[in-house]
Amino acid sequence: MAAAAMARRSTRPLLLPLLLLGFLLLAHVPSAAPQSFIGINYGDVADNLPPPSSTARLLKSTTIGKVRLYRTDPAVVTAFAGTGISLLLGAANSDIPNFASSPSAAAAWVASHLPSTSSPAINGISVGNEVLFADDATLAAQLVPALQNVYDALPPNSSIKVSTVNAMDVLASSDPPSSGTFKPALAAALDPLLAFLSKTGSPFLVNPYPYFAYQDDPRPDTLAFCLFQPNAGRPDAGSGLTYTSMFDAQVDAVRAALDAKGYKDVEVVVAETGWPHSGGADEAGASVENARAFVSGLVSHLRSMVGTPRMPGKSVDTYLFAVYDEDLKPGKASEKSFGLFQTTLTETYTTGLMRNGTAGLAPAPAPTPAQKMPPATPQVTPTPPVQPGAAAASSRHTRSAAESSRTFSALHLFACFGFMALLV
């Protein structure tokens, strides 16, 4: 008996290391549950999309927790019932005059577009997209009355937020991020908008695109900064902070502009961001390799919960752009090529969003032909993103999404057997 007791006592010093091992194993398990801070845009400017039910099933197989709709088709809303994915509904710019002039019109839209049941959950309504730069200059003055009437039409005690999506062009300055300020010429429309958002607890929705920043400055070091690749960092003398990604710099510039206006209570939400996987010969950096590096790097950054230098410790809610390519979109080739998924319900490239290491679902009926490869473009070999000062938090996401969860399960069992041996 004494010998057995001594043997048990001699193994107890191993308990703490094994407990730490078990914790580390848990930290390395890929997330399978939907993550509320990762969303995606579901556009429909295309003639080859799968039915909404297939898209809902596809997104349910990912860790995406939110979907933004540009126009609210009841069939799409219904398709997401029971998926656990919440929706950001969209009303078009063309709806704004009617909403602004008629509270009953706003109430009718809300009544006809909110689901009659609690599923799917609706987290917000976005009225208009980049309205302050719309071709119709009269929309800006009508925006806040439209928002107010939609807000007033919500059910009592509703938690649904009402906002509008803004372009990064609302900023007069963004470099360095601490210099972020809104354009004075937009004050007549922006000031009442910010007051409304603050009063209703609604977020400031904005579309930061590091891809377009790279287009303006197509140097290799800028590309690494935009793709979450290792880089020297860019110090902000105004704040004393150092930035290692363009995404964080753009988001913090918006945060600085809101703070400068006195709206520290208004949350920043990224309504769109993405990277095209192909483009024209004049569109530097539009490639599969760079799209993979940006999206997978951003997903890892968000999951690290590091936040931004100005807003540490919490990931900003971010809607990736977009579910599919949209072949009917006007403009340059890249505008049609932001899809994270093919219409065959498989990934365009590895995103790190799929559960259980899958690459998508079974093919949908009538798959479209594979897209041709674009011309050669500047590329950075996608390596696991590194966030200085946060290596411990981000390292657990450097494993490939294709790794089998069974590997982790076996490791967990091994650790459990070790714990049980200590107790025998």
What are the catalytic residues? 130, 272
Give the distance, in angstroms, between the CA of residue 12 and the centroid of all CA atoms in the same chain.
45
Q: Roughly how many angstroms between the first and final C-alpha of the chain, as a whole number?
A: 13
Structural tokens at position 399: 């494993």
How is residue 407 annotated by DSSP?
A: H
Tokens at residue 307, please?
């936040």
Separation CA 143–CA 135 (nearest Å): 14
User: For strand 171-173 and strand 234-236, is the pairing parallel, antiparallel, or unpaired?
Assistant: unpaired
Phi, psi of 393 (to 5 degrees): -75, -35
Q: Where does 61-209 have alpha helices with state H?
A: 74-79, 96-101, 103-113, 139-152, 187-200
Check residue 362 and report its DSSP letter: S
CA-closest candidate to residue 37, choices 260, 251, 343, 290: 251
Could you tell me the two tokens for 253? Answer: 């510039």
Structure tokens at 362: 């079974």
Return d(Cα 303, Cα 394) in angstroms, integer.
8
Calculate the dihedral angle through the C-alpha atoms of 70, 208, 131, 107, rounding to the nearest 10 degrees: 40
What is d(CA 119, CA 124) in angstroms, rounded to the nearest whole number?
Answer: 14
Contact 333, 280 (CB under 8 A): yes
